[in-house]
Structure 1
């Protein structure tokens, strides 16, 4: 018998290379004869077409005392047209396999349609009817108002939603719409009727101030002709886009406790106002904030979750509220999570220590490299669907950003160094300019929080 000897060669484990910025698609622009701006992106293989329509009907355009009117109008757009009742309209959508949603936000109302490419003509026709001639029946608007009133108590009972409401109220002056709940309060929603919805629509919804985004596999489709025969039939008087208000904020360091007697957990939301995406620091801020609290391996999670066991997770984030080309917009910079009631003060103390250490020692190159790998490397996965691409185009339009903003952002992220990312994160979360909102049992947490000395403490009644 002959012995056979096998020689095994061990190769070193491959090391990850530098991430390459993903080439985010650029849209094609055009304008319909009725003034409607069109952005389109042809995505081969995407057989479900995503359509986003942006209406220049911002929340601050709602009449005094009618907060929530834009939301009611958005929801009522699909509740019947001059051609179909509400039930018939829903049935027509179902027949062509389409979904139609709408919501209102600070920048305006957004209407979203997803439809198989084979039924795009039918889907666009229904969308055009909803925008061109919504019926706004008295009975349907009354039903939507009742539904909204039913939702509000549930939102007030949700600690995360309650914390967000309280933070907005603290940061922004009462006369600014962004200080108040986006979908209105019980008092304001109860005043809304079909006449108010119709008046809001007549005043603010028209093609000349709107934009439609179409993304999907458009091979073999004459999109220009299809749009002109559907959305091109929508008419309205020309108008200038309503200017967005200048936003100022008071982020003087302080603590607000929304009292929830008997609560076994405390919802934590730490925030302040920041610059919008037009600011040159935005890319570095995205990277630094991600290192601080954007993932399970971030600094905040490593200390508060892994080392101390205070929480299941804590996140740092930046969220744009309003954006203008002049840079007068505003974003919300925040840290959020929930902790057991009895460790609320220690968790805050450790959060402050993480921020102090970040300022004193900075991020490491390893943290920066891992963040770039995650943010830039996963970009193609984030945009596998037509709806994700369409949503990003719509965001760029809403925020008055250039069409290539997202593509350039990935390039800037990849080029941002550790020192720059550290400076942006430190500047985003200065210890003396953070408003802390705690939704929890004030009888247990108030005194320990006062002893931390992170700012004056106010206790308010939970809603």
Structure 2
């Protein structure tokens, strides 16, 4: 039997291995595997734990109780492997790719970094300086400023979707000490909700053995969650971030959504938004870009929606100073017409085809399959959701889409954030 014709639910091996939920998938590739994993850390966001976590993660590959950073780097280089540890809000992520035969060695190195990092004193200033440099680079970007300003209007500082002002982020990173990062590691880096997905040319039993050897002794429980789950209730308004000598102004518009990723309305709203602003053939592009020539690009999306906290609906557009007001008015009018008039059967059928086709193509790589399985696991979805998603999309009806649009999207509730050389009259209007 050709295993590649079986459903993912039939092909994925899903079982506990020590403190880890391990999912393995054999794929028709030769000699290599990809993996994606995560565990919950529950940072106290209102106390800037997310900044501590970022610096802590940056130290993990700088040395352990058994290897200095040069030995760790040499080990990975000798294998030709990729191994990445990153901070992702409420999680720490682990990912990589390696030759199948080298997987035990690379997983062992990753486990060593996570469980026995030594936090060498001479490395911390370098990690801190790199984090500060990353923020300073982002501060030159009008898009980043506009996006952050919008999230500050929609969410409180203890919400996972909040984005603090760049100045606060710089100050916070400067104040985090090596001792704080090390203490955070001790308290928060545990195998809480630890899930690991490995996909590629593999033996399920061999991967299980490698994971047990690497992570079997890992123990501990993360602190209880403290983050907010609901958006901030406030009247719509405008925030401006003046930045001198910019050719264009980045604009973000949006409002919070009181829904979860597993709500019945999510997929109908996802489809509706895709018709509005999901790709180059969407309504916003057709009108604001193609018909009126006011921008090179405009998109809308559902952002930051999880199964446990609110997210948002956002629109992003770049406009010149001269076209700013015209572009804002045109965008709002397209949104209003969209919400009031709904979508057509032809639009819905076309987007269903686009979404399901893109989804199928995306699952052709080991990296993408591993990430999709991990994301579904984090959401509490079954493995079968990977197979079911296209059918769920195709099953959504026109009435469900239009009802979701009119229920959850409100043109009168849109907040606006702008960054760039904003005209004086626009700043005065926003005051």
Change (3 A) 1:47 1:292: farther
Q: Would you say the 8 A contact 1:372–1:413 is kept in 2?
A: yes
Change (3 A) 1:148 1:357: same
Which residue number corresponds to residue 361 of structure 1?
A: 341
Alignment of 1:178-257 (within 5 A): 178-181=161-164, 185-219=169-203, 222-232=206-216, 234-238=217-221, 242=225, 244-250=227-233, 252-257=235-240
What is the CA-CA distance between 1:61 and the residue it aligns to?
2.7
What is the CA-CA distance between 1:295 and the residue it aligns to?
0.9
SS of structure 1 residue aligned to 2:413: coil
Q: Is residue 84 of structure 2 the alignment partner of residue 104 of structure 1?
A: no
Which residue number corresponds to residue 288 of structure 2?
A: 304
Q: Report which stretch shifted further, 395-404 or 343-352.
A: 395-404
Change (3 A) 1:332 1:407: farther
What is the CA-CA distance between 1:433 and the residue it aligns to?
1.3
| Deviation digits for residues 150-180 of structure 1 (CA, Å, limit 9, x no counterpart) | 2222111111111121111111124445423
What is the CA-CA distance between 1:191 and the residue it aligns to?
1.5
Q: Is residue 322 of structure 2 the alignment partner of residue 348 of structure 1?
A: no
SS of structure 1 residue aligned to 2:273: helix
Alignment of 1:367-406 (within 5 A): 367-406=347-386
- Pairwise CA RMSD: 2.5
Which residue number corresponds to residue 14 of structure 1?
A: none
What is the CA-CA distance between 1:229 and the residue it aligns to?
1.6
Alignment of 1:20-419 (within 5 A): 27-33=12-18, 35-45=19-29, 47-58=31-42, 60-61=43-44, 64-65=47-48, 67-176=50-159, 178-181=161-164, 185-219=169-203, 222-232=206-216, 234-238=217-221, 242=225, 244-250=227-233, 252-274=235-257, 275-320=259-304, 322-324=306-308, 329-419=309-399
Q: Report which stretch shifted further, 419-428 or 383-392.
A: 419-428
| Deviation digits for residues 208-237 of structure 1 (CA, Å, limit 9, x no counterpart) | 5422222222147522222212222x4223
Provide the C-alpha distance between the structure 2 equivalents of 1:23 and 1:253, rounded to a whole number of angstroms.
46
Unaligned runs of 5+ in 2: 1-5
Q: Would you say the 8 A contact 1:301–1:315 is kept in 2?
A: yes
Which residue number corresponds to residue 13 of structure 1?
A: none
Provide the C-alpha distance between the structure 2 equivalents of 1:354 and 1:298, rounded to a whole number of angstroms.
11
Provide the C-alpha distance between the structure 1 equivalents of 2:45 and 2:73, rounded to a whole number of angstroms.
28
Provide the C-alpha distance between the structure 1 equivalents of 2:71 and 2:90, rounded to a whole number of angstroms.
31
| Larger fraction in helix | 2
What is the CA-CA distance between 1:110 and the residue it aligns to?
0.8
Aligned residues between the structures: 423
Q: Would you say the 8 A contact 1:49–1:215 is kept in 2?
A: yes
Change (3 A) 1:220 1:250: closer
What is the CA-CA distance between 1:428 and the residue it aligns to?
4.0
Larger radius of gyration between Structure 1 and Structure 2 = 1
What is the CA-CA distance between 1:270 and the residue it aligns to?
0.9
Which residue number corresponds to residue 442 of structure 1?
A: 422
Provide the C-alpha distance between the structure 2 equivalents of 1:44 and 1:427, rounded to a whole number of angstroms.
44
What is the CA-CA distance between 1:89 and the residue it aligns to?
0.7
SS of structure 1 residue aligned to 2:240: strand
Q: Report which stretch shifted further, 112-121 or 39-48.
A: 39-48
| Deviation digits for residues 79-103 of structure 1 (CA, Å, limit 9, x no counterpart) | 1122211121111111111111222
TM (norm. structure 1) is 0.85
TM (norm. structure 2) is 0.91
| Deviation digits for residues 49-85 of structure 1 (CA, Å, limit 9, x no counterpart) | 1222212114x43582554111112222211122211
Q: Would you say the 8 A contact 1:258–1:440 is kept in 2?
A: yes
